[in-house]
């Protein structure tokens, strides 16, 4: 499981920049399924940099707040051998992250991780490999690959024997046309 440091920079009373914090303690984890660290969340555009609070601490759901964005690191472990156990872990994740659009039985049949959000996601594969699945096809993402997910149904399947590390930004968005 990866460990990260997060450096938050700000300015002091004299306007000089400095490192305010170097912790990444907003960890969410499900053993054997995923390891996620919230790095930053905003609630507005443009971003109000005068807010001194640790903005990662305000992230409570999978999606960013209305008008906001979220930046996180996501490590996805290899798929479990037991599909029912995998589904149980993913259903728990959906509850904990307040998943708005609960997957259908057809989604779960495709893969337990299928879901959609009201966001535009930009995702970069840092290490490992993972299958990005849609309703109709899939692609194998490897280090250096990226994807833009525009509010559509998708899922992740790690069919390797090593974790896959993704850098993820999620931006509040309207749904695409049906």
Name the residue ranges covered by the structural domains of the chain.
Answer: 8-48+67-172
CATH topology assigned to domain 8-48+67-172: Jelly Rolls (2.60.120)
pLDDT (tens digit, 9 = 90+) per residue, 161-172?
999 999 999 999
Instruction: Report which secondary-structure segment, H or E, holds 20.
Output: strand 17-21
pLDDT (tens digit, 9 = 90+) per residue, 1-47?
556 677 888 888 898 888 887 666 666 777 777 777 778 888 888 88
Give the C-alpha separation, 120 to 67, whole Å: 12
- What is the pTM assigned to this prediction? 0.85
126 touches 167 (CB < 8 A): yes
């Amino acid at each position: 499981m990866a460990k990260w440091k997060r450096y938050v920079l700000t300015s002091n009373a004299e306007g000089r920049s400095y490192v305010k914090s170097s912790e990444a303690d907003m960890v969410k984890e499900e053993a054997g399924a995923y390891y996620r660290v919230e790095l930053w969340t905003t609630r507005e555009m443009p971003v109000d940099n005068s807010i001194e609070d640790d903005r990662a601490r305000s992230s409570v759901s999978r999606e960013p707040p209305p008008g906001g964005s979220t930046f996180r690191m996501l490590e996805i472990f290899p798929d479990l051998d037991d599909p029912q156990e995998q589904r149980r872990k993913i259903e728990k994740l959906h509850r904990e992250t307040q998943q708005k659009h609960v997957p259908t039985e057809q989604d779960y049949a495709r893969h337990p991780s299928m879901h959609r959000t009201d966001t535009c996601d930009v995702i970069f594969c840092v290490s490992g490999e993972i299958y990005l699945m849609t309703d109709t096809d899939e692609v194998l993402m490897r280090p250096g690959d990226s994807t833009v997910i525009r509010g559509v149904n998708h899922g992740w399947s790690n069919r390797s024997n090593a974790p896959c590390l993704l850098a993820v930004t999620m931006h509040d968005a309207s749904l695409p046309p049906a």
